[in-house]
Amino acid sequence: MYYHCMTAIDNQTIKRLGRLFGDMFDITATYNHGDRIVFALSYRFSPSKSRQLLTERLKTAGYDFEMNETEEALMLTIDPKPKIKIPILNVLLFLLTLATVYFVPVYFRHGSYDATVQALARGEGLEFTFALISILFVHEMGHFIAGRRRGIVTSWPYFIPAPNIIGTFGAVIKSKSPFWNRRDLIEVGAMGPVAGWIVALGWLLFGLSHSHIMPASSFAMGEMGFSLEGESLLMRLLTLQILGPNPPGYFYHFTEAAFAGWVGMLVTAINMLPIGQLDGGHVIYGLMRRQQRPLAHIAVAGLVVLGFFSPMWWFFALVGLVFGMAHPPTLDDTKRLSGVAIALGIISLVILLLSFTPVPFQ
């Protein structure tokens, strides 16, 4: 309960700030102090742990604040206007991932440092790098912006460089506060896949319009030739519509933009699997609650079977088993879902059905 000691305090601002720590403290009073707001907080749980979590959340969210203990309460003085503070680690990981996405895939194609340098000088890798990074960035910022909108404190994206054929393991953000209800859970969970998928679709359409069908003998060493065997419904539909069927002995030669769009579709579908802390786990729990856990078991069993055709699925089945398949409850699972949340959840599930690739690599 809030006790407003000065009417000049903006109720919406109080509510927005209160969501940052309302799960850990009771707010007994609020005051104006110049352009700052003072909250008198009483502990619900361990004082030391609560102060630690409060400090972490406020720093992550970009607020300037001070904390002072009194005999009766913890006094929190906070500037209600957050500042953009991107940690140096996030910046360094982004720059390193930018470098690996640019260099490593080209190196895999050409197999030597000298040949890679020559290929980069010809412009190889630029289109793929810009396309893939934009897909990952928009995906993670979809989560980030939706989280800030709903008062969920999340970190800035952590991009993950990797020595694989696309140069990255993607990106993640870390939630620093619990989800208040299933509406917020769906919106934060779905906005990343929906936003990133739209960008991936744009790159895929652009890339397919510049791709070709070529005989197998025309492919250079290290180049990837695509058939439509084992492809997603959307990839099959768009490729046939734009390029037409490939005759026997011919394969699709995708541009870097098309390949990046294909990767974006694949990554989005993986994220939308209804497992634990994946985006799909958030969405399915938000929509169906008790059905999420059995659906996660079915999904993992399906990945085990698909692993016999494409072994990469065994890795994701293992991730589900190790990190848990069940999704934890929100603070208030009884709150009714909004129409926007239901629509976002359904759209993200349609994206999964259209984009899931049963056999991406053989």
Query: What is the chain's mean pLDDT, rounded?
Result: 91
pLDDT in tens, 66-98: 999 887 789 999 999 988 889 999 999 999 999
In terms of Cα–Cα distance, which of 191, 247, 253 is closest to 226? 253
pLDDT in tens, 186-199: 999 999 999 999 99
Q: pLDDT band at residue 362, thresholds of 50, 70 and 90? A: low
Whole-number Å distance between alpha carbons of 359 and 342: 30
Does the pLDDT value for residue 1 go beyond 90?
Answer: no
Q: pLDDT band at residue 179, thresholds of 50, 70 and 90? A: very high
Decide if 185 contacts 171 (C-beta within 8 A): no
Torsion of CA 181, 185, 191, 196, to 10 degrees: 170
Decide if 59 contacts 174 (C-beta within 8 A): no
Decide if 280 contacts 273 (C-beta within 8 A): yes
Could you tell me which residues come within 8 angstroms of residue 112 by beta carbon, excluding any fewer than 6 positions away? none
Does the pLDDT value for residue 333 go beyond 90?
Answer: yes
Q: What percent of the chain has pLDDT over 70?
A: 97
Domain ranges of the chain: 11-78, 88-355
> Which pair of structure tokens corresponds to residue 228?
């439509």
Decide if 124 contacts 141 (C-beta within 8 A): no
> Which pair of structure tokens corresponds to residue 187?
């919106």
Average pLDDT on 15-23 reads: 88
Could you tell me which residues come within 8 angstroms of residue 187 by beta carbon, excluding any fewer than 6 positions away? 146, 149, 150, 340, 341, 344
In terms of Cα–Cα distance, which of 149, 195, 127 is closest to 348? 195
Does the pLDDT value for residue 300 go beyond 90?
Answer: yes
Could you tell me which residues come within 8 angstroms of residue 318 by beta carbon, excluding any fewer than 6 positions away? none
Give me the residues paired with residue 68 across strands: 75
- Determine the pLDDT at residue 5: 47
Q: What CATH topology corresponds to 11-78?
A: Hypothetical Protein Ta0175; Chain: A, domain 2 (3.90.1070)
Does the pLDDT value for residue 3 go beyond 70?
Answer: no
Could you tell me which residues come within 8 angstroms of residue 136 by beta carbon, excluding any fewer than 6 positions away? 157, 159, 168, 170, 171, 196, 264, 267
DSSP for residue 289: G
Does the pLDDT value for residue 7 go beyond 70?
Answer: no
Distances (CA, A) of 5 to 10, 55, 78, 101: 12, 25, 16, 54
pLDDT in tens, 23-69: 899 999 898 888 899 999 999 988 889 999 999 999 998 999 999 98
Q: pLDDT band at residue 146, thresholds of 50, 70 and 90? A: very high
Whole-number Å distance between alpha carbons of 330 and 33: 34
Average pLDDT on 232-257 reads: 94
Decide if 351 contacts 272 (C-beta within 8 A): yes
- Determine the pLDDT at residue 2: 42
> Which pair of structure tokens corresponds to residue 78?
């906070």
- Determine the pLDDT at residue 32: 87
Q: pLDDT band at residue 324, thresholds of 50, 70 and 90? A: confident
Distances (CA, A) of 359 to 228, 230, 355: 10, 5, 12
